[in-house]
Amino acid sequence: MGKALQLLPASASDKALLARLEEEAGTSAKLCYQCGKCSAGCPVGFAMDNTPRQVIRLLQLGLLNEALDAQSIWICASCETCSARCPRGVDIAALMDALRREALKQGRINDKKVAVFNQAFLSGVKKFGRTYEAGLLMQHNLLTGQLFKDAELGLPMMKRGKLSILPEKIKGRDQIKKIFDRVKEQGGE
Ligand code: SF4
Ligand code: SF4
């Protein structure tokens, strides 16, 4: 972890927020006994400022601000390896997801590119029912002012049929729309 933290009893608002995040994630950080198996198996743990075990520890200590500001929640790839390996049944991936949604809701994003990527990704899934990689790259580059970023990679991939220039739509997009509507009803973005 980075800077030293002063430990004080968690405030009532932090306790309430943790309870809500745990409810949304359907799991409890209290179950964790800090064995570190989640961190050991995380494929992107090396790039995180707080390993998955440390993020869970921050929650246990009621340090919600630190958990919400951790870069780790944006680096997490939602692969669920941690949740599958946890001997205590803590759904760490779901907690990471709940933290991401809460950080977005509170506008707590230190890196604007992360927010832009997140929005571009979700808008593609909402429209087409799956990711539209070329559109995602173009939208991201446009909004972050890096028009030709990765163009040298994108064009050869298109030529080899690895990247489609047009979006592919899935069947049952009405179901996807219902999921987004439900998330909005529940206070999500
Ligand atoms: S694997 Fe489970 S019990 Fe072990 S540190 Fe991670 S969350 Fe805690
Ligand atoms: S879900 Fe996230 S935190 Fe868990 S192992 Fe995968 S990348 Fe790491």
Structure tokens at 45: 């743990």
- Grade residue 76 by pLDDT with cuts at 50, 70 and 90: confident
Identify which has the larger pLDDT, 127 or 186: 127
> What pLDDT, in 10s, does the model give residues 27-71?
999 999 999 999 999 988 888 899 999 999 999 999 999 999 998
Quote the tokens at residue 19: 């309870």
Atom of ligand 1 nearest to the CA of 39: 6
Alpha carbon distances (Å) from 44 to 50, 51, 56, 75, 153: 11, 9, 16, 7, 23
Q: Which residues line ligand 1 (CB under 6 A)?
A: 32-38, 53, 56, 86-88, 90, 92
> Which residues lie with the beta carbon below 6 Å from any ligand 2 atom?
41-45, 52, 76-82, 92-93, 96
Per-chain mean pLDDT for the chain: 82
127's CB contacts (< 8 A; 6+ apart) are: 167
Q: How confident is the model at residue 171 (pLDDT cuts 50, 70, 90)?
A: confident
Query: pTM score, two decimals?
Result: 0.68
For the chain, where do the domains classified as CATH 1.10.1060.10 start and end?
12-105
Q: Please check the confidence at residue 1 and state whether its pLDDT lies above 60.
A: no
53 burial via Cβ count (<10 Å: 0-12, 13-18, 19+): buried
Q: What's the pLDDT tens digit per position in 87-134?
A: 999 999 999 999 999 998 898 876 666 666 667 777 777 777 776 676
Using most ligand atoms within 8 A of CB, pick from 30, 57, 72, 90 the residue to mutate for ligand 1.
90
Digit-coded pLDDT (tens) for 5-26:
677 778 899 999 999 999 999 9
CA of 33 to the centre of ligand 1 (A): 6
C-alpha of residue 89 to centroid of ligand 1, in Å? 8
Q: Using CA atoms, how far apart are residues 38 and 151, in angstroms rounded to an integer? A: 36
- Whether CATH 3.40.50.300 fits 12-105: no
Q: What is the pLDDT of residue 46?
A: 85
10 Å CB burial of residue 19 (0-12, 13-18, 19+) is exposed
Percent of the chain with pLDDT over 70: 71
Instruction: Match 């990711």 to its residue by tokens.
Output: 131
Ligand 2 midpoint to CA 166 (Å): 31
If you search the block for the tokens 């790259």, which residue do you land on? 137
User: Residue 43 in contact with residue 79, Cβ under 8 Å?
Assistant: yes
CA of 159 to the centre of ligand 2 (A): 33
